[in-house]
Structure 1
């Protein structure tokens, strides 16, 4: 690229060469610039080496007053004069002595064919107001030029370059374009004035029709609070909320004179708008005897054509339904978040309960063994009894966790809830104490409910104890049961139908909104450290959900609490509740027991119990290990297996062995305490268990086998 030295003093070398570059003399700024330029990297080389034709042409264009640029050689190297330089803007002076593509790149697809055509055909190309897209000032624009491109012969008569004599006409073209547009608009205005007046009149009529028929409220008041305008929708709104309609010219003060509080609220907000303030406000208006609604209102000043403020106007819309829907949506979203939280906590507690059951099984079994064998003296007996009691309490705690997680073992049968609640009256009275008056109310014709009677009794007892604790100074506790019909919008979110509702209501201290919102969360308690596990309500909530029902709570501080347990109605007749199996039952047959469990400690305690019951025990740590023992020749009379194990489950193991040996007795032991994946015809026992509970289960197997 050529470089301008900018040094006004010619070097000695330049002076010696001045005679060879005399054609640049009197060439203005561009001539001086060409003389001072370093041409070493230009495709043209130094001016002293140029052909005579090129020197003559450059000398001519430098002296000319017209805008001239010469594109020389196959690379179209640019040489131009002072008049042309402003037309290329920021491209000057870097364009001097450089191929045109480097500085006319944005229009090269347009310019190159023109230059090549002149160079090839030697015919002059001329055009008036020829548009060219250029980026000469750092941004793109369309410029217009009168152009004449002519071929210039070199010394050997070939075409050496293209001489472009141009004149920028951009300002004139754009001016003429604007003038033509202005004249066209003027002609349109003058020739279609009548039509435009008619259209404008129609527009005003259409606008008036829209204002009059829109559902939005539009009204305007003057500075004396008198109506200047009011549309039908707004007048209808006043009729709805106040029982009367304002007219044009009526005074707001007279309209609401019989309602001073409403007048004060209306004038307070209108006074801001009449003072010139523009704002949007959401507020509630209306006489409760008629209707009260919430409106979103946009106030603006009303001005005359000369700008004088003459009043104010508002455009309003009734947002009552929208706000109510937003509130319902927020409530639904909160309910969803609560449900997701409870589901996550249920999964967590279910898993914890499973692990606790596996931990408790060897503890309960060992303490049961110590008690049955009478190990130690009197002091040891008390310690073992205390430890056994603590283990039972831990077992109960795990059962409550499972109840909350909806994974407890339930035996849902048709239950006479009225009889069950009535028979619990004395127990509840003795539990709550003499300071609390207990009332039990159950009708005789109450339909049966599908429930587990033992779990329902525990739930009612839990709710009664909670009620007792909420009445430290005494009070009233009412336990009732009724048949209730649930519709589509019931707050329990139950499916529509008939349910048996067990209600436990107290006159205690009640709960605030925060406590009520967290009441069924596991481990949440307001009783203080050591006075409660926080699992009572959560257990009842999980029980109700597992049975296909629901739990609802109503409470207020100082107004007591009512807890309702909803149970689905049974279409079968309730029968007698089976008695709890006696703990001293022992299995009749003995033989070989195959014991399968992946927990060594559980396996150890269970093996000890089976041994005491007379079985020869073979242990296996997995279902695959147990099957291998059978393939090696083991023929067990009894299979006692854990359900959830790595690899094959205990249920699948039992079914596989039953297919080979139909007479084998099978007992599935589960620490998860749910029926998922366990075949209904397989007997099951829940961890943790004592020796007598294991014996009772095996005795049931033996009885079923006979």
Structure 2
């Protein structure tokens, strides 16, 4: 933006103004204009009965787009947006010859074509003409807009930070000096200690919370302040006497952080943390409950072991009695049918008892395996023959598909057959009458896989996560009855003991299921 003071003076038709021809201007006006021209500070001169407005080059940022049209014009025409505010000041200075000084006064200017809030510090000094009468005023000003807006922004930011500090979910406080006088506390801290900020600000921690001194908390503050090192506390107990009531124990996570001044000295301590009382008490209750559950589980295992052995004792005589009874009844069809029922139920009870005993052994780490090399094809056939009578009772079609070559694995033959038999028994139980059950052995990478599939009830998705937990079982139907819920956990434990895996796939209720046992292949022959 160009500025030529002489050209600006020449550009005004002074003859048509109250100031008249420039050649007749008083020496005092010419002198003041010369000073105005040379000044490096923003200044303007108001002169004459209609308040003609003169300014220097340093004033250009203030006048903005009103330059150059505003030079030499009446001040009310140059600044109509603020004239109502400043007219009393201008008139008082010129009329009464009174000087004025104002700091940080706000004005809404239109110097850039739009309303703009600005701030100025300025002085009005009356200027006399050659006859000693006040004919105008000189204004020296300093724009403070940027500084004051920055201060306002800082205040706003500080207030925002103060609100965040107050509203923070964790407790926070700031203490000053070696006596640890409270400088700031937030709402969470007030709630923890039972005192409002008005009750603590300016007072020492030991004065507000005397009960914590014997608990070592003042000593912690002393050490952080003197050593300049942070302290972190986890779930530390503190007894607080809030609202003049009985002292209560709380648990807190917190950190004491030293606050350093510009010279590197410790000025105070910033404390922040969380009240974790509920968590600590819940964890303690959980540990107590866990111990109780562990003890109950141990008692359950002991009970199962005793129960299994106790149930074994009457089953053997019952089985022997049924055998003798079969010979005594002769050809009596009704009696033979009863004997068959007794025999089947004894066999079923024996199988359940053996499962209970095995679960107890596994729980106590007492399960031993008699490892040998075996052909899974043969073990699978033995398992199928073992369950075939039960399958025939329910009208199931049991199909088995062996490998064309021996399927060698190493394991306990009885336990491997037990695992396959349990899966087959489950398939028989959970498949409606007249179903199809398939057992297939196949090579699967480095493993040999035994698949037991059925077209039965399937497994609901919500049961999958707990399928191999002890005593986890669906509701029984009157048709199929039910077991004790130990079959699948036993199978999984047996597979773990053999270094194998068990997998299950079911698309949901009514879609059947497929259980797969994967055994590591024994490749002794390949070597």
TM-score normalised by L of structure 2: 0.32
